[in-house]
Amino acid sequence: MHRIVVKLGTNVIMRSDGKIALGLLCGLVEGIAALRALGREILVVSSGAIGLGVERLGLPSRPSDLAQMQACAAVGQSRLMALYDDAFDRLGCRIAQVLLTEDDFRDPIRHDNLRGTLDSLLRLGVIPIVNENDTVSTLELDRPAQSPQQQERSVRIFGDNDKLSALLMKHINADLLVLLSDVDGLYDRSPSEPGAQILPHVDIINDAILSLAHGSNGRGRGGMLSKLESARIVLEAGKQVIIANGRTPQVLERIVAGESIGTRFSPVAVESLA
Number of domains, the chain: 1
The predicted pLDDT at position 148 comes to 43
Q: How far apart are CA 175 and CA 241, in angstroms?
A: 9
Q: List the one residue out of 271, 41, 61, 64 whose CA is nearest residue 172.
A: 41
Confidence of residue 222 (pLDDT cuts 50, 70, 90): low
Does residue 155 sit within a domain? yes
Q: CA-CA distance, 199 to 66, in Å (whole number)?
A: 38
Share of the chain above pLDDT 70, in %: 86
- Domain membership of residue 193 (yes or no) is yes
* Residue 184 within any structural domain of the chain: yes
The residue type of 44 is: V
CA–CA distances in Å: residue 88 to residues 8, 67, 82, 161, 272: 15, 31, 10, 21, 40
The b/e string for 212-228 (b: 16+ C-beta within 10 A; e otherwise) is bbbeebebbbbbbbbbb
Please check whether residue 167 lies inside any domain of the structure: yes
**Cα end-to-end distance, the chain, whole Å:** 32
Burial class (CB in 10 A: 0-12, 13-18, 19+), 2: exposed
In a domain, 10, yes or no: yes
Domain that holds residue 179: 3-16+31-46+93-265
Mean pLDDT to the nearest integer, 19-40: 95
Asked whether residue 39 carries a pLDDT value surpassing 90, the answer given is yes
pLDDT of residue 191 exceeding 90: no
pTM of the model: 0.87
Residue 117 has pLDDT above 70, yes or no: yes
Residue 139 forms part of a structural domain: yes
- In a domain, residue 196? The reply is yes
Q: With a cut of 50, say whether residue 54 has pLDDT above it.
A: yes
> Which CATH number do you get for residue 124?
3.40.1160.10
Res. 33: pLDDT tops 50: yes
The 10s digit of each residue's pLDDT in 84-116 is: 999 999 999 999 999 998 888 888 899 899 999
pLDDT per residue over 119-148, tens digit each? 999 999 999 999 988 777 655 444 444 444
Nearest CA to 152 out of 135, 164, 139 is that of: 139
* Within a domain: 77: no
Which one is predicted more confidently, 77 or 145? 77
